[in-house]
A = this chain, B = another copy of it.
């Protein structure tokens, strides 16, 4: 927790667009300001934003952020070190990103279409100018898969990767599988919940997944994004009955983005596919994303998380900002603190186990079946809530609600000492919620 000798300058960001991604980024930077600052070792300031939405502009101004209407003015703004492109599309976004780079500013973007189509040009411009283009949010937003491929798995020859990288189509497929709904029904449900655009073609047609695959494959196998080389089929022709047949054969149906090397050839494909039901990818349901990567050293690793959402996308955008902030702080060399924090943060104190509230599983072996009621009475005396109890002959199994460990321990001592009890097993339950 070494403190820098002099307070480092802040990283000043300019934001193009104040929609889902932009307002999420603003929100996360504000909500987690102290922790982000402690981890980055310098503050990250949202200095200026481009938006034409009056109410959002007002909210930004209340936070002391300069508001402009022209994204290009923000991209060239002399007061920012990094430009966050969150306007979407591939024309204005491209112009603004190239303009920011030309001015020597770093860029962070969640725009996969932009990078899949113009990435080669943009990355070359950034390299020539000595600035970085962060795009962790562009692929499977909250999952740090860009970092995993560019850094974590850097020692590996990648053999293949396969991903569920479009949350909208995965939601539709999950509905078709679970509820036997038709494609049209499932898509209408996704649209009514706001999970699908009014024009869902890019999602359900596989185009969005192809953009992400082009970026993933470039990082895994080298070379520029090769969008033209991706074979793309969408999910619109799928029928619910095939999900049933697939399940009987031991498979789930998913829209997969696959890059697979065999010899000196590389397959790049997006299409619906049967995947083995016991595979973790088959368990990636609803709007979630999952990417499986096979490397020749690491073997199979897999990454799972939200594939859409405002704060989820912001999580990745801000991670890219922190990379830059750590460089600002360190002036190079040692950028990442050993345990992740440059500055101290208020330390949570270690909880005593007795004060912890957990759920429990109990198995009580009784000398005679009638003693179950005595066990229930003992649990009740110690205020252990019982969610479920099942008895089969002399075996009594109980699932408890949340209860203090100290109360549970007292109840266990009493039950163990009961004359009608032969043996007692207790395991804790973790709901992962």
Contact A305 B312 (CB under 8 A): no
Contact A353 B304 (CB under 8 A): no
Name which of A29, A156, A298 has the most chain B CB atoms within 10 A of its CB. A298
**Nearest Cβ distance between residue A192 and chain B, in whole angstroms?**
22
Complex CA gap A258/B36 in Å reads: 23
**Set B28, B280, B297: member contacting A155, Cβ < 8 A:** B28
Which B residues are CB-close (under 8 A) to A165?
none
21 contacts between A and B (CB under 8 A): A31-B296, A35-B157, A119-B339, A142-B298, A150-B340, A151-B336, A153-B319, A154-B340, A155-B316, A155-B319, A223-B347, A225-B339, A245-B363, A249-B388, A264-B349, A266-B348, A271-B428, A279-B432, A295-B315, A299-B312, A300-B432
Interface SS majority for chain A = mixed
**Set B154, B317, B338, B345: member contacting A39, Cβ < 8 A:** B154
Q: Using CB atoms and an 8 Å cutoff, list the residues of chain A in contact with chain B.
A: 1-2, 28-29, 31-32, 35-36, 38-40, 119, 123-124, 126-128, 130-133, 136, 142-144, 147-157, 162, 215, 218-226, 229, 231, 238-239, 241-242, 245-246, 248-249, 251, 253, 256, 258, 261-269, 271-276, 278-281, 283, 292, 295-306, 309, 311-312, 314-319, 322-323, 327, 330-341, 344-351, 353, 355-356, 361, 363, 388, 390, 397, 399, 425, 427-432
Complex CA gap A20/B151 in Å reads: 23
**Nearest Cβ distance between residue A308 and chain B, in whole angstroms?**
11
Which B residues are CB-close (under 8 A) to A280?
280, 283, 304
Contact B361 A152 (CB under 8 A): no
Q: A123-B339, A297-B28, A427-B273 are in contact. Are A361 and B246 (CB under 8 A)?
A: yes
Complex CA gap A346/B221 in Å reads: 9
**Nearest Cβ distance between residue A81 and chain B, in whole angstroms?**
13
**Nearest Cβ distance between residue A241 and chain B, in whole angstroms?**
7
Complex CA gap A305/B319 in Å reads: 23
Q: What is the chain B residue whose CB lies nearest that of A430? A: B273
Which B residues are CB-close (under 8 A) to A283?
278, 280, 283
Contact A272 B427 (CB under 8 A): yes
**Set B147, B149, B318, B346: member contacting A264, Cβ < 8 A:** B346
Complex CA gap A56/B340 in Å reads: 37
Q: What is the chain B residue whose CB lies nearest that of A144? A: B152
Q: A142-B297, A221-B347, A283-B283 are in contact. List 16 more A-B contacts (CB 8 A).
A: A35-B156, A35-B157, A143-B301, A148-B148, A151-B323, A242-B361, A246-B427, A256-B430, A271-B428, A275-B429, A280-B283, A296-B311, A298-B311, A298-B316, A300-B305, A303-B304
